[in-house]
Amino acid sequence: MSQTVLITGCSSGFGKLAAKTFSANGWNVMATMRSPEKDTELASLPGVALGRLDVVDRKNVHSVVRDTLKRFGRIDCLVNNAGYGGNALFEQFSDLAMNQMFATNVFGPVNAMRAVMPIMRAQKQGVIVNVSSMAGLVGLPGHSFYSASKFALNGLSEGMALESEAFGIRVHLIEPGAYPTTSFNASTEDHLDSGDQQLSDYSRKLRAQIEAIGQQMAQQGGALSNPQEVADKIYACATDPSMPIHNPTGADAEMLEVMIQTAGSRQKFIEQIAAMLLPQQ
């Protein structure tokens, strides 16, 4: 029997590429998104079924899991890819924006994992791959709430990885850097004009500084790499038991990992990040 993967957030970017990658390798794929009627590619691929899913709706999540089992008979891997970012300083984020970010980036994966883990325990095997971000490795200025949501997902995944080993379930994190497909570059929530003039001015100055660094790295062949490498890393985690829990992916994310390892202390690492990213006063 072919193995089955359920992937959230397949309308574009990493999710769509992951669905294509699993299909090309003979897996059954339940590719989910909020508007499957807009799909023009995935439904025609071998072994791929589409599901309508909003990860913050627990009833919807459990319904899609039941549909996956009815269609394919098992769920061997869950890929939590759905999520979004936000450009804003801490004070610029409203309560609504904050709650929506955590609902999607943290409690969305929680809903999906709670729905599939009893199935995986009954099977005595399974893999969960949570797509996080390099913002889960360091609190990024201008993305404080986004970083907070990804730190939460990272901590949750680390604890789960230790807990779930006894049940035959592996848990892995993918921590992409800046890619053309990610919300880090083209956020779905931009709050740069929120708040007073001082906040707005500094927020835009900070954003310009970060974009300039990203362009510089891209010109050097660094930051904006091929997003297929993220899909390939997701597939590797699903199929290779030797993969680590943390998987920074992309030149900039891998650079951050090296900086963390070589800085000597977390404080020195944060000081290096500040010197690199913060605009001169």
Where in the sequence numbering do the catalytic residues fall? 11, 132, 146, 150
Q: Are 145 and 154 in contact (CB under 8 A)?
A: no
- Sign (positive or negative) of CA dihedral 235, 240, 245, 250: negative
Cβ atoms < 10 Å from Cβ of 40 = 6
**Residue 68 to residue 64: CA distance in whole angstroms:** 6
Our CA angle for 233, 138, 78, nearest 5°, is 35
Q: Are 58 and 107 in contact (CB under 8 A)?
A: no
Spell out a b/e string for 180-211, using b for 16 or more CB atoms within 10 Å of the CB, else e.
ebbbbbebebebbebbeeebbebbeebbebbe
DSSP 261-273: HHSSSHHHHHHHH
**Residue 192 to residue 56: CA distance in whole angstroms:** 26
H-only helix segments in the chain? 13-24, 58-72, 95-102, 108-123, 144-164, 197-219, 228-239, 251-262, 266-277
- 5 beta partners: 29, 77
Give me the residue label for tokens 């091929």. Answer: 226
Q: How far apart are the first and last CA of the chain?
A: 61
Q: What is the DSSP letter of 52?
A: E
